[in-house]
Amino acid sequence: MKSTYAEGPFYSITLDDGVATCRVWGNPDLDWAEGARWAHEIAKALLTLAAGPRESARALLFDDREAPPVVGPRTQTSLGTFLSAWERRGRRVAFVLDASPVRGLQARRLLAEWAPKHGRAFTSIEEARAWVLARDADSPGPTKPSPR
């Protein structure tokens, strides 16, 4: 059963069948500083989920398809903080991206740095969900898109 865990002016975090889904989108009413502050709030919520029972959140689906095309250094630090927490606990993180090459490069760099074993980037929400739910870490098929 899907339930809302946290939400803010440009994000929502839901829990469904042991998978946490964080969806983020652009909000033109917020300046960079406010966006970075809210990114820190997202990171705190996702850190709490990573530290909690595996049954509640065994994997994270981070839906970044509607986010701004570039994020600043404070937001990148917040992303790295929660990615490393999920990585340390051996929990999968699927980063779902749009076709933006700049955002894709940023996200892949963050995953390589902070979640190299348990983080993967996807352009399809369906493939990302299938991977976080799969038993075998290498299933299904090619899940590490080639760099652009």
> What pLDDT is stored for residue 101 in this prediction?
86
Taking the C-alpha atoms of residue 87 and residue 5, their distance in angstroms, rounded to an integer, is 21
pLDDT in tens, 26-71: 898 988 889 889 999 999 999 999 999 999 999 999 999 998 878 8
> What pLDDT is stored for residue 136 in this prediction?
64
Decide if pLDDT at 9 tops 80: yes
pLDDT in tens, 66-121: 988 788 888 899 999 999 999 999 999 999 998 888 888 888 999 999 999 999 99
Provide mean pLDDT across the span 123-146.
71
Decide if pLDDT at 6 tops 80: yes
- Can the peptide bond before residue 140 be classed as cis, meaning omega within 30 degrees of 0? yes
> What pLDDT is stored for residue 11 in this prediction?
96
Percent of the chain with pLDDT over 70: 91
Taking the C-alpha atoms of residue 138 and residue 140, their distance in angstroms, rounded to an integer, is 6
Cβ neighbourhood burial of 135 (10 Å; 0-12, 13-18, 19+): exposed
Provide mean pLDDT across the span 111-138.
91
